[in-house]
Amino acid sequence: MKHSRLRFRVLLPLVGVLAASACFAANPSDPLTPRAHFMSGKLYLGQNLYERAEEQIRLAVEGDSLSAIYRAYWAVALCEVAKERFKNSAARDLHGRIEVLRTLEPLYRKADEEFHRAAGLDPEEMKSFCEDNQVHYWVDAFKQAEGMFRNRNYEEANELLQLLVVLDPTEPQGFLTMAYCLDGLNRSHEAVEKAQTAVELALQKIAEANCDSLRTKKARLDCSRRRDQHQLIVSNVDSFLKSRNLVL
């Protein structure tokens, strides 16, 4: 079955390892400041200790709810926790793996919320960081779902794709692949619904693309490439529906 695959430029989370001594107040008995919690959380991120990182950065946000960078890194930590929990799941049967995926939804939902809050608080400094990292985690999970689909693990792939919709409800490729999975599960009516959503989102992105107005040649080329990818999604939906005698 032929279907399109989006390609993204991925910016990995910027989580440099910092000296531990910078994370703590001079007196260990004193409560940590929001910045101290944040620096401690970044240290844990750099050490791949994601649960601890999430806890510390969440405390930083609780201490300073208007800091865009705290919220952005909290979203990064939440995504890393979700990835690690799924990777380390001991469930080997299909039902168990699906249950694990369902437990991750609140983490991805909160991450999406915090990425948007951070971008809204400081669009100039944080919008690009949030968008790039959100794309990174979407692509990372999509690759797993795509592998499941190719191995005909349609039910598990569909569950993971539903998480991707939580992380980014505007990306049409996730809905298109979900339509393929539902078709593989003989759920034709739902497949048509997801295919229709994929087309609507792709057409919306095509309409919003104003590539000629961008300043640099590279930006215009990237925009044109994305526009072509979305046009391919529209074509693939049409081919998918015709091959099964389905209509939107």
Interaxial angle between packed helices 172-184 and 217-243, expressed in degrees from 0 to 180 and rounded to the nearest 10: 20
Residue 160's pLDDT is 92
pLDDT along the chain (248 residues), means of 10: 38 42 45 94 97 97 97 97 90 83 92 96 91 91 92 94 89 95 95 95 91 84 89 94 79
Residue 111's pLDDT is 95
Cβ atoms of residues 160 and 140 within 8 Å: no
Structure tokens given for 53:
């990182």
The runs of H, that is alpha helices, within the chain are 34-46, 50-63, 68-87, 94-103, 105-121, 123-150, 154-167, 172-184, 188-208, 217-243
240-178-5-232 Cα dihedral, nearest 10 degrees: 40
Residue 202's pLDDT is 94
Beta-carbon-side half-sphere exposure of residue 135 (alpha carbons within 13 Å):
13
Residue 222's pLDDT is 82
Structure tokens given for 158:
């569909």
